[in-house]
């Protein structure tokens, strides 16, 4: 049985918004890496993770979310997905990375 991991997508320094169910919105820049495992050439597990960068004013809010382990929604760079913060600057994707269409009015908000 041969196992191989391939990188599906790499996003570097994309602008986005981090939000929760309480209407908290934090502007961020993020990196995202999506990988796919193959076992004997057959697609198997997918795993996605990344890094966040944000202004000093958002540090306390992001830290409180990372300690509480509450899921957040990351939107930007043409994607939208649910993430779990694994530290103040790192995250793991919890769900599907969906392609998203954004309108100029949404981006400016």
Place of tokens 């830290």: 63
Residue 105 pLDDT > 60, yes or no? no
Q: How far apart are the first and last CA of the chain?
A: 50
Residue-level pLDDT at 95? 87
How many CB atoms are closer than 10 A to CB 10? 11
Contact 53, 19 (CB under 8 A): no
Residue-level pLDDT at 25? 87
How many CB atoms are closer than 10 A to CB 75? 19
- Mean pLDDT value across residues 84-95: 90
- Mean pLDDT value across residues 26-51: 94
Helix (H, G, I), strand (E, B) or coil at 56: helix
pLDDT by residue (tens digit) across 39-76?
999 999 999 999 999 888 777 777 777 777 889 999 99
């Amino acid at each position: 049985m041969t196992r191989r991991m391939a990188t599906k997508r790499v996003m570097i320094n994309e602008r986005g918004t981090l939000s929760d169910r309480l209407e908290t919105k934090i502007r961020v820049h993020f990196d995202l890496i999506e990988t796919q495992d193959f076992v004997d050439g057959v697609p198997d597990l997918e795993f996605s993770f990344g890094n966040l960068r944000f202004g000093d004013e958002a540090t306390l809010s992001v830290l409180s979310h990372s300690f509480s382990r509450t899921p957040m929604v990351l939107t930007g760079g043409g994607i939208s997905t649910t993430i779990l913060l694994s530290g103040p600057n790192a995250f793991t994707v919890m769900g599907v990375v969906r392609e998203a269409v954004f309108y100029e009015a949404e981006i400016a908000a």
